[in-house]
């Protein structure tokens, strides 16, 4: 007999983020392993504060927008170009590129209690972000950071604005319980989202 309990969901990949001199702020979630299969989505905070999710399918758009907050969700075909130290995302609205340097690894695993109670204060102090919190639909989430890389170069061509100058991220780029890191970074991470019961 089924208990109605769902398994926790784990997403393995990178979160790559930067602000731009145009006032746009971009967070790319590039997930090579997830319950929904591999996918890439783009979270975009416009200069006026409007938060936009660009997703490759309605399924992904509905899932991500159930976890985080957006004023607009756009489903678009996406072309992804990756190297070991860069990603380019082209969609119906334009193109974003981000390239980073050497990854500083965090090779050892940490339990969820450690991420929530010990890492969280350091993450807020050093990066202005959180490693643990509650999603928009009430699920607990932990960010298990595996490695950090400083951004080296960026390009933006969206909504008629273009820039190749990176900036820090402002609080208006908050899509959920946590802001992206203040500085432009590529973070290798596992996102653990707690199961809910039906």
Number of domains in the chain: 1
Burial of 189 (0-12, 13-18, 19+ CB in 10 A): buried
Domain membership of residue 21 (yes or no) is yes
Kindly provide the b/e burial profile for residues 88-113, where b requires at least 16 CB atoms within 10 angstroms of the residue's own CB: bbbbebbebbbbbeebeeeeeeeeee
Question: Is the model's pLDDT at 63 over the cut of 90?
Answer: yes
Residue 189: closest CA among 65, 88, 106, 119: 106
DSSP secondary structure string, 23-42?
A: S-EEEEEEEEE-TT-SEEEE
143 lies in a domain? yes
CA distances from 3 to 10, 138, 193, 198 (A): 21, 20, 19, 9
pLDDT given at position 106: 79
State the pLDDT confidence band at 13, using cuts at 50, 70 and 90: very high
* Residue spans of alpha helices (H) in the chain: 58-67, 112-114, 120-127
Q: Answer yes or no: is 198 within a domain.
A: no
Judge whether 2 lies within some domain: no
Strand partners, 190: 12, 144
69, part of any domain? yes
Q: Which domain holds residue 34?
A: 10-193
> Across residues 57-74, what is the average pLDDT?
96
For residue 25, give the nearest of 135, 143, 182 by alpha carbon.
182
- Range with lowest mean pLDDT among 53-62, 67-76, 101-110: 101-110
Is residue 111 very low, low, confident or very high in pLDDT (cuts 50, 70, 90)?
A: confident
- In this model, does residue 107 exceed pLDDT 80? no
The conformational region for residue 115 under phi > 0 = left, psi -120 to 50 = alpha, else beta, is alpha
β-strand pairing of 9-20 with 25-33: antiparallel
Q: With CA atoms as reference, report the closest residue to 153 among 188, 184, 181.
A: 184
180 against 18, higher pLDDT: 18
For the cut 60, the answer to whether the pLDDT of residue 197 exceeds it is no
Within-domain flag for 3: no
Confidence of residue 36 (pLDDT cuts 50, 70, 90): very high
pLDDT of amino acid 198: 39
């Amino acid at each position: 007999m089924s208990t109605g309990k769902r398994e926790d969901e784990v997403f393995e990949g990178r979160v790559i983020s930067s602000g731009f001199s145009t006032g746009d702020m971009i967070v790319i979630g590039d997930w090579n392993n997830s319950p929904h299969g591999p996918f890439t989505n783009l979270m975009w905070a416009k200069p006026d504060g409007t938060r936009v999710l660009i997703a490759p399918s309605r399924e992904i758009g509905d899932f991500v927008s159930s976890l985080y907050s957006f004023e607009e969700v756009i489903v678009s075909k996406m072309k992804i170009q990756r190297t070991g130290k860069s990603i380019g995302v082209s969609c119906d609205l334009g193109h974003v590129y981000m390239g980073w340097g050497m990854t500083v690894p965090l090779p050892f695993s940490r339990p969820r209690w450690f991420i929530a109670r010990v890492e969280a204060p350091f993450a807020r102090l050093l990066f202005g972000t959180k490693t643990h919190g509650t999603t928009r639909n009430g699920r607990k989430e932990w960010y298990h950071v595996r490695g950090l890389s400083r951004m080296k170069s960026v390009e933006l061509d969206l909504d008629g604005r273009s820039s190749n100058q990176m900036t820090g991220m402002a609080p208006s780029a908050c899509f959920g319980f946590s802001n992206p890191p203040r500085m432009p970074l590529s973070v290798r991470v596992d996102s653990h989202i707690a199961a809910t019961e039906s």
